Amino acid sequence: MLAIIPNRKYNLGFSALLILLSATALFVWGLKFGIDFTGGAMVELESTLINPPASSEIQQKLISDGFDVASIQMSNQNTYLVRLGIMDEGEHQRFTKSIEENFKTLQKNEGSNNAFIEKRFESIGPTISQEFRQKSYLAIIIALLAIIAYIGYSFRKVSKPVASWKYGICAVIALIHDVTIPTGIFAVLGRYAGWEVDLLFVTALLTVLGFSVHDTIVVYDRIRENLLKSGGRNFAEIANISVNQTLARSINTSLTTVIVLVALFVLGGETTRRFIFVLIAGIIFGTYSSIFIASPLLVIWNNISQKNKK
C-alpha cells in the first residue's frame, strides 16, 4: 500500500510549485486571446500552388495593402490561418481581391486557376466578444459553485469527522489546481508559439472540471464507505486506504482517455489541436489532484479542526 496520505507534504508542495509557476506565467505574459474574446476576423486559405509562399510574405503584402494583420500561421503545408482586425463584408471583399492580385504572377507561372481558395471566414464584433468573455468567466464560477453544492448534499450523511461541505471545498481547490496549470501552460505557448485562447479553450476547461470532479467523487465515495465500517481507524488511515483502493481505477480510466486524445492530437486537424491539448493536460493533472490533493486536503483540514477542539 502506497503511503500517499503520510507523504502529503511532498505531493502538495509539488502542486504548489506548479501553481506558482503557472500563476507567474499568467502574470508576466497573460493569455493571448483569440477573436472570440477580442473581436476580429479569421480567414482560412488553402493554396493550390506547388510552391506556396511563406507566411511572412503573405503578411507583408497584406500589411502593405492596409490590412490589420494580427498573425498568419500555416496549419499544414498549404493551409494558412490569417487573423485580422474587425472586418465588414466590404473589407472582406477587398481582402479577397488583394490576395488574388498579389499572387497573380505565381498563379500564372504554375498555370493554376486560383492561387488561394478561401475555406473559411469568421468575423466577431467587439460587443459580442466582450459578452463571450464575461459568460465564460460566469460559466466556470457557476460550475464550481454547483460542484460544492452537489458534493455537500451527496455527503450529508457522513458529516463526521469532516463536515460534508468540506468535501466540496476540497474538491473545488483540487479543480482550481486542474485548470490553473493548463492555463499557465497556455500562457507560455501563447508567448512562444502564438497559441490563442478561444471558446474551445473554455469548453475544454469545463470538460476537465467535469472529468476531474468525477474522479475525485469516486475517491470520496470510497472514503464514505470506509468511514461507515472504520473499525476504530483514524481519518488519515481511512483516507489512505481509500485512495489506494481507487488508485488503479483512476489511473486506468485516465490513461485510456489520454491515449485516444494523443492520437487525435497527432492525427487530427489544426482547429481542434489546442482543444485536445487542454484536455490532455487537464486530465493528467486532474488525475494527479484526485489522488494526491483532494483527499490529503481533507486530512489536513480534519487535523486542524481536531487541534482547535483540543
Q: Among residues 31, 282, 280, 287, which one has the least CA distance to residue 178?
A: 282
The full set of domains in the chain, from first to last, is 8-34+128-309 (1.20.1640.10), 40-124 (3.30.70.3400)
Residue 188 banded pLDDT, cuts 50, 70, 90: very high
- Reduced to 3 DSSP states, what percent helix, strand and coil does the chain have, rounded to the nearest 5? 70, 10, 20
Give the per-residue pLDDT at 232: 65
Neighbours of 126 (CB within 10 A): 11
Task: Give mean pLDDT, residues 65-93.
Answer: 83
Q: What rounded mean pLDDT belongs to the chain?
A: 86
Q: Among residues 127, 57, 135, 120, which one has the least CA distance to residue 86?
A: 127
Q: Looking at residue 231, what DSSP letter applies?
A: T
Task: Give mean pLDDT, residues 150-169.
Answer: 77
Instruction: Give 154 or 280, the one with higher predicted confidence.
Output: 280
Q: What is the pLDDT of residues 262-307, one digit of tens each?
A: 999 998 777 788 899 999 999 999 999 999 999 999 999 988 888 8
Q: Looking at residue 51, what DSSP letter applies?
A: S
Q: What is the pLDDT of residues 256-267, one digit of tens each?
A: 999 999 999 998
Prediction pTM value: 0.81
